[in-house]
Amino acid sequence: MENLIEQLKQQIIEELNLEDTTPADIDPAAPLFGDGGIGLDSIDALEITMLLEKYYGIKISDPKEARTIYSSINSIAEYIKANQK
Amino acid sequence: MEQIYISKASTISPQNTFIADDFFNAEALVCESDKCPAVDPDYKVLITDAGKRRRMGHLIKMGVSTSLACLKQADGSLFMPDAMMSATGMGGLEDTEKFLRCIIDNDEQLLNPSNFIQSTGNTFGGQTGLLLGHHGYNVTYAHGGFSMESALIDAMLQLKDGSAKTALVTGADEITTTEYEAMRKMGFWRNGRQMGEGSHSFLLTNEKEGAVCELVDVKTKRPLNESAVDYINSFIGSNGIKAEDVDLVLTGCDCDYAHLKELEESTFSTFNYKHYCGQYATASGFGLWLGAELIGRGLMPAANGWEKKQARHIVIYNEYRMNDYSLMLLKHAL
């Protein structure tokens, strides 16, 4: 799980072009969107959806479901672990 | 009729031009390769908001940076122009290519929104407007080799009819490996042609005070069915200028033959700027920047750099793909 979390952080930094952010800057339990986290927005949510399909073969098409899954790095990692074939 | 002045200019190009003093304190070196990438300033310093910067491709960073440099006032605040005109031949080509690749790789599903947003031609004008909080006229011209000229003509018309008192005009294009390779396979990069990139911003105004120079006229022609010298003579004649009053013709020829030879053998003093910036749709912006700076600084090209000599009139002659021919006339703001 720890490796998956670090891998996810790195992929999010690269895909979202977070050029001034390092994996150590991202608290895996902190919210990804809005205040208190790394301040991602709705375009980033689409990019994360693409990232999950590209790297993990996971397709998320329900926005309500995405809202819960994308709440933090930890929650995304848990979803990948539970759903990756 | 109102005169139009260039009150400020800023350029990113394959030369060290973003800080113009650095460029004019050294000898300009022609690009040796057939691919001439821009000398990039530190964009982190110029566009400090990392959240905004991460959604900017190279073209947008260049365009926004020269635009902001033109608008920066002595106290650090940004001047708000009445109108903004942008120009680009190809737009965000790097992101266009990524977006097209994404369409193929993802079988037209799940397309990357960032690449699409950044691929459109009007993005750097839009981003500059957003950073400024500008709600006025903001238009982008994507008119091939006449993009820069079209934006300038729009600005001049608005300044002349009083629709705007100040206008920011920015032209930018970028190199991509795919375009370079595709053009190379077609044999385009030969006969002295080099691929370049850059961004060129000009703040135009009716105010003479503090002006770098006067922008007298801009003309476009496609195709050129006369000699380059006749084209220039007819252009300056229509502005009441004689050939002997033109101190320099900055020649932006498309390749090393035909018109370049004709102009170099004419009675005009010439300086070919295309080997300093390369060829791209808005390269005439580099010529305009160079001409404006030469007049503003009282310099002229010399054998090993620049010499102190005040030009009264400079003509910028530009060719793009042996199809689009433009002329611009600059005058010392006496």
Instruction: Please write the tens of the pLDDT for every residue from B174-198.
Output: 999 999 999 999 999 988 899 999 9
**Residue A16: closest C-alpha in chain B:** B54
State the average pLDDT for chain B.
95
CA–CA gap between residue A72 and residue A61 (Å, rounded): 18
Are B110 and A39 an interchain contact pair (Cβ–Cβ within 8 Å)?
Answer: no
Quick one: tokens of B27?
């000898």
Strands of B165-320, DSSP E: 166-173, 195-196, 198-205, 213-221, 248-252, 270-272, 299-302, 305-308, 313-320
Contact list, A18 vs chain B (CB under 8 Å): 50, 54
Query: What tokens does B272 get?
Result: 């070919």
Pick the CATH number of B216-331 from 2.130.10.10, 3.40.47.10, 3.30.70.360, 3.40.50.80: 3.40.47.10
Domain boundaries, chain B: 5-205, 216-331
Three-point CA angle B89, B287, B246, nearest 5°: 135
SS3 B218: strand
- The answer for residues whose C-beta is within 8 angstroms of residue B320's C-beta and 6 or more apart is B89, B144, B145, B146, B254, B279, B281, B283, B284, B326
CB contact under 8 A, A20 and B113: no
Is pLDDT of B104 > 80?
Answer: yes
Nearest-by-Cβ selection for A19 from B54, B112, B114: B54
Q: Does A53 contact B at CB distance below 8 Å?
A: yes
Take residue B99 and report the two structure tokens written for it: 């977006």
For the segment B139-172, what is each residue's pLDDT rounded down to a tens digit? 999 999 999 999 999 999 999 999 999 999 999 9
Tokens, residue B74: 């002595």
DSSP string, B8-29: EEEEE-SSS-SSHHHHHTS---
| The pTM of the whole model exceeds 0.90 | yes
pLDDT (tens digit, 9 = 90+) per residue, A17-64? Answer: 898 889 999 999 999 998 777 889 888 998 999 899 989 999 988 888
B289-315 tens-digit pLDDT? 999 999 999 999 998 889 999 999 999
Interatomic CA distance for residues B110 and B124, integer angstroms: 25
* Residues ≥6 apart with Cβ < 8 Å to B26: B16, B305
Q: Does residue A5 register a pLDDT over 80?
A: yes
R_g over Cα of chain B: 19
Task: Please check the confidence at residue B129 and state whether its pLDDT lies above 90.
Answer: yes
Any idea which architecture A2-83 has in CATH?
Orthogonal Bundle (1.10)
The 10s digit of each residue's pLDDT in B17-60 is: 999 999 999 888 889 899 999 999 999 999 998 888 988 999 99
Choose among B242, B215, B167: nearest CA to B316. Answer: B215
Chain B positions touching A50 (Cβ under 8 A) are 106, 110, 112
Q: Which residue of B has its CA nearest to A60?
A: B110
Q: Which of B44, B45, B55, B118 has the most A C-beta neighbours within 10 Å, making it the best mutation to test the interface with A?
A: B55
Cβ–Cβ below 8 Å for B112 and A49: no
- B261's enclosing H/E stretch is helix B259-264
From B210, B209, B203, B215, select the one nearest B80 (Cα to Cα): B203
pLDDT tens profile B198-255: 999 999 999 999 999 999 999 999 999 999 999 999 999 999 999 999 999 999 998 8
**Cβ-Cβ contacts under 8 Å, B51 against chain A:** 39
Percent of the residues in chain B that have a pLDDT greater than 90, as a whole number: 87
Q: Residue B116's closest chain A neighbor by CA? A: A43
**B110:A19 CB<8 A:** no
CB atoms within 10 A of CB A71: 16
One fold for both B5-205 and B216-331? yes
Closest-CA residue in chain B for A48? B112
Residue B286: what pLDDT?
98
Q: Do A17 and B113 touch (CB under 8 A)?
A: no
Residue B327, H or E segment? strand B324-331
Residues of chain A contacting B49 with CB distance shorter than 8 Å: none
Residues 6+ away with beta carbon under 8 Å from B195: B34, B35, B36, B175, B179, B180, B183, B189, B278, B279, B280
* pLDDT the model gives residue A45: 92
Q: What pLDDT shows up at residue B214?
A: 98
- For residue B1, name the pLDDT band (cuts at 50, 70, 90): low
Kindly tell me if the per-residue pLDDT of B11 is higher than 90: yes
Give the domain B5-205 fold. Peroxisomal Thiolase; Chain A, domain 1 (3.40.47)
Q: Which long-range contacts (CB under 8 A, 24 or more apart) does B178-183 make?
A: B178/B97, B179/B90, B179/B93, B179/B97, B180/B35
